[in-house]
């Protein structure tokens, strides 16, 4: 039934193996899943369950050992480094646990980084970055350095940065892990709003509370999908409604 | 990695932004950047300064040699070593040595291509102007002397053939002596005294930078400033007044010498024959003189030697410059490798946000080139300053050729490229996943 809509991400039998000395560790095993536009997904699981590997594969930071990864219908699992960089810069937005802002750049310059690598002109990227900073409530702090901001504010800069190139999917890795509950809550509210606007978000987390907040939950254990709420029947119509 | 498109895909605007970004990163660590650039600063400065000093020294040497005339062969009488004339002194208390008129006649008769011979005699004594006296070299010579030896007359005239023939009491002073004897007044037309005779000053001749033609028996008597006091008389006048035997009473000591000619300049009409002629003259003189009581200076040969010396100097200089820039380059490479490690996380972030490997290479390469380029600019400034300071305080001629700062700067930038490539490649080749995980 969900085949009526083209999935934004489709994994087909994806495996990721790591060579650890003489052992081969299978971090992901035969993972197949489809993610549809407008999905609001949390990927949960115990540490060592394959979450990070999943993030790296989905984020095109790493490539699967086996299987296919279709992003917007295009196989990205065998692209070369330059094309992968292009995909990351154009179609994906990253939000990290430790914000990962560049220390020597100001708020607005940090937001501009992805635009810079896409060759957007200086004037246009500045305009877009200022708009995004205002959108996340940092309009008054455009020229501050990351060190002059609170954790919550830094994470909002990171969100603005992730939105800069209008990506197809936003990947958040433990985005609230370093924040107190109040600023964490602020960040989650921004995620909710973004999803309401139709953005596809994938939150990677170990926080069980997130499962209630998102519309779809995927649990990983031992490198395999243990549970996918889309097939658990609870919210499987979500994708269609969004469409 | 697609090297061909490293710069090719860059619009000027984007390159400008990358340069600005590089400047910002370097500015964050001002002291470190400054210290890193220091190696290049001193390398470049030393290249320019040494080239300037070398050029200056070689220029000065060549000017001195040229002032002797490249078509000339200069013969000078020198006092034989004590050992050689020990027997002579027992027989006579008058020391007899040096070039003779017979030598000159033979040279004119047998050596082909000899056009002019300028004989000269020298003695050293006090020249007086009223109560002022200056210890000077007095030389008897011929009217065509200035032209032969490339010396310029600054005031008045040189003495003439008529004065030569009539043994007139006229003289020409060099600028140094004129300035000593007539510090405030005009020297032309005035009289100076040498022993018991009075001589009218008819001209002032340019001083030699350093008297390369002196030496021999008289020895250049140098003033504290290195200037040589010179008084030039017609040769005939000098011979008539002072004869062939020179007797000097100085500070209680007594010295007598008999020298016919102190200095002879032989001009060869064809520059290509100078070396052959010098061989012929050497051969001729060695037959006439048992003791080596003469000296032969061939400016052309000196010029060639100077050119060889300069070549050797340039090779030595080149090696020193290469070593200092190598050291500077290694310093830069070391710091850039540390910087890459320190900024691994930044590299990971940039890669996650869409930076290609070549973007990272370019970013770090531009930083290195900025660093070495800035070092180059500072080095050029310092390198231009040092010769000025040396000229001012050590009174040495230095010449900065236009190409030397350009060359030094270019090399400094190239050093940045060469030593920046490896750290930049290392930065770019890290996997984004590992780089992001780096603490």
> Does A28 fall in a domain?
no
User: How many structural domains does chain A have?
Assistant: 1
Instruction: Find the mean pLDDT for residues A168-184.
Output: 91
pLDDT at B61: 82
The confidence band for B200, taking pLDDT boundaries of 50, 70 and 90, is very high
pLDDT given for residue B212 in this prediction: 43
Cβ contact B353–A82 (<8 Å)? no
Quick one: pLDDT at residue B249? 60
Find residue B172's DSSP bridge partners.
B203, B232
Q: Which residues of B fall within a CB distance of 8 Å from A53? A: none
Contact list, A165 vs chain B (CB under 8 Å): 354
Q: Is residue A27 part of a domain?
A: no
Predicted local confidence at residue A236, as pLDDT: 39
Please give the C-alpha separations between residue A157 and each of A41, A201, B257, B271, B397, in angstroms, as whole numbers.
22, 17, 99, 82, 62
CA distance A61 to chain B (A): 6
For chain A, percent of residues with pLDDT exceeding 70: 93
CA distances from B100 to A72, B67, B384 (A): 108, 25, 52
Which structure tokens are listed for B295? 């000296």
In this structure, is residue A99 part of a structural domain?
yes
Residue range A23-46: average pLDDT? 91
Q: How far B348 CA lies from chain A's nearest CA (Å)?
A: 9
Q: Is residue A226 part of a domain?
A: yes
pTM, two decimal places: 0.70
Domain limits at A165?
38-63+85-242
Q: Binning pLDDT at 50, 70 and 90, where does residue B290 land?
A: confident
Range name among A98-112, B175-189, B317-331 with the lowest pLDDT average: B317-331
Res. B218: pLDDT tops 70: no
Pairing of strands B170-174, B197-205: parallel
**Minimal CA separation from B29 to chain A, in Å:** 10
Q: Which two tokens stand for residue B19?
A: 């340069």
In chain B, residues with a C-beta closer than 8 Å to the C-beta of A85 are 351, 354-357, 359
pLDDT at residue B9 in the model: 57
Whether A108 is in a domain gets the answer: yes
Q: What is the ipTM for the molecules in this complex?
A: 0.90
Average pLDDT over residues B217-224: 39
Mean pLDDT for the stretch of residues B205-221: 52
pLDDT digits (tens, 9 = 90+) for B11-53: 777 788 888 888 888 888 889 899 989 989 998 998 888 888 8
Interface of A with B (CB under 8 A): 56, 59, 61-62, 81-82, 85-86, 88-90, 94, 96, 100-105, 113-114, 116-119, 121-122, 161, 165
What pLDDT was estimated at residue A8?
92
In the predicted structure, residue A126 carries a pLDDT above the cut 90 = yes
Between B335 and A243, name the one with better pLDDT.
B335
Asked, for residue A129, whether it belongs to a domain, the answer is yes
Task: Determine, yes or no, domain membership for A180.
Answer: yes
By C-alpha distance, which of A64, A63, A86 is closest to A167?
A86
CA B39 to chain CA centroid, Å, is 28
Query: What's A133's domain CATH number?
Result: 3.40.50.300
Instruction: Return phi, psi of residue B402, to 5°.
Output: -60, -35
Query: Does A117 map to a domain?
Result: yes
**What pLDDT score was predicted for residue B349?**
94
The answer, yes or no, to whether residue B226 has pLDDT greater than 60, is no
Q: Verify whether the Cβ–Cβ distance B14 to A119 is below 8 Å.
A: yes
């Amino acid at each position: 039934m969900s085949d009526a809509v083209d999935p934004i991400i489709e994994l087909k039998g994806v495996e990721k193996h790591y060579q650890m000395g003489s052992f081969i560790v299978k971090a992901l095993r035969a993972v197949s899943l489809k993610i549809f536009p407008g999905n609001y997904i949390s990927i949960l699981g115990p540490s060592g369950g394959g979450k990070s590997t999943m993030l790296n594969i989905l984020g095109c930071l790493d490539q699967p050992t086996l299987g296919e990864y279709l992003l917007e219908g295009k196989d990205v699992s065998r692209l070369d480094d330059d094309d992968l960089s292009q995909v990351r810069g154009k179609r994906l937005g990253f939000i990290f646990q430790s914000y990962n802002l560049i220390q020597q750049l100001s708020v607005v310059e940090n937001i501009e980084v992805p635009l810079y690598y896409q060759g957007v002109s200086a004037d246009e990227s500045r305009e877009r970055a200022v708009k995004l900073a205002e959108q996340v409530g940092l309009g008054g702090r455009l020229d501050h350095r990351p060190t002059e901001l609170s954790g919550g504010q830094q994470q909002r800069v990171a969100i603005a940065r992730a939105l800069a190139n209008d990506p197809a999917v936003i990947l958040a890795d433990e985005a609230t892990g370093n924040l107190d509950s109040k600023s964490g809550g602020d960040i989650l509210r921004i995620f909710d709003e973004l999803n309401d606007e139709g953005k596809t978000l994938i939150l990677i987390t170990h926080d069980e509370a997130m499962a209630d907040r998102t519309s779809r939950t995927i649990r990983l254990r031992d490198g395999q999908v243990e549970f996918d709420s889309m097939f658990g029947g609870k919210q499987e119509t979500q994708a269609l409604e969004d469409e | 990695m697609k090297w061909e498109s490293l710069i090719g895909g860059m619009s000027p605007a984007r390159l400008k932004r990358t340069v600005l970004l590089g400047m910002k990163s370097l500015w964050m660590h001002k002291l470190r950047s400054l210290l890193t650039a220091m190696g290049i600063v001193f390398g470049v400065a030393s290249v320019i300064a040494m080239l300037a000093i070398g050029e200056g020294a070689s220029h000065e040497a060549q000017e001195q040699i040229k002032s002797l005339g490249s078509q000339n062969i200069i013969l000078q009488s020198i006092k034989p070593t004590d050992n050689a004339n020990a027997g002579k002194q027992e027989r006579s208390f008058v020391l007899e040595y040096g070039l003779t008129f017979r030598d000159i006649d033979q040279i004119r008769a047998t050596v082909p291509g000899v056009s002019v011979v300028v004989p000269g005699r020298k003695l050293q004594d006090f020249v007086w102007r009223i109560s002022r006296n200056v210890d000077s070299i007095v030389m008897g010579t011929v009217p065509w002397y200035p032209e032969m030896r490339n010396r310029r007359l600054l005031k008045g005239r040189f003495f003439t053939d008529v004065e030569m023939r009539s043994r007139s009491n006229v003289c020409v002073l060099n600028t140094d002596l004129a300035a000593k004897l007539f510090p405030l007044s005009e020297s032309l037309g005035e009289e100076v005294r040498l022993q018991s005779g009075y001589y009218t000053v008819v001209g002032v001749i340019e001083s030699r930078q350093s008297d390369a033609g002196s030496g021999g028996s008289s020895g250049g008597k140098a003033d504290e400033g290195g200037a040589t006091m010179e008084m030039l008389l017609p040769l005939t006048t000098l011979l008539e007044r002072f004869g062939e035997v020179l007797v000097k009473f100085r500070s209680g000591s007594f010295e007598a010498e008999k020298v016919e000619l102190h200095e002879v300049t032989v001009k060869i009409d064809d520059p290509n024959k100078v070396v052959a002629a010098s061989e012929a003259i050497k051969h001729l003189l060695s037959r006439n003189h048992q003791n080596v009581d003469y000296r032969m200076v061939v400016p052309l040969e000196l010029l060639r030697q100077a050119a060889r010396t300069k070549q050797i100097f340039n090779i030595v200089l080149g090696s020193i410059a290469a070593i200092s820039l190598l050291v500077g380059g290694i310093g830069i490479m070391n710091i850039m490798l540390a910087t890459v490690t320190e900024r691994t996380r930044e590299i990971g972030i940039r890669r996650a946000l869409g930076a290609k490997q070549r973007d990272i290479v370019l970013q770090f390469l531009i930083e290195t080139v900025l660093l070495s380029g800035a070092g180059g600019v500072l080095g050029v400034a310092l390198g231009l300053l040092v010769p000025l300071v040396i000229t001012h305080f050590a009174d040495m001629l230095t010449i900065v050729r236009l190409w030397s700062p350009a060359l030094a700067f270019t090399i400094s930038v190239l050093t940045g490229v060469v030593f920046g490539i490896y750290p930049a490649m290392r930065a770019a080749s890290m996997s984004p996943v590992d780089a992001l995980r780096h603490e």
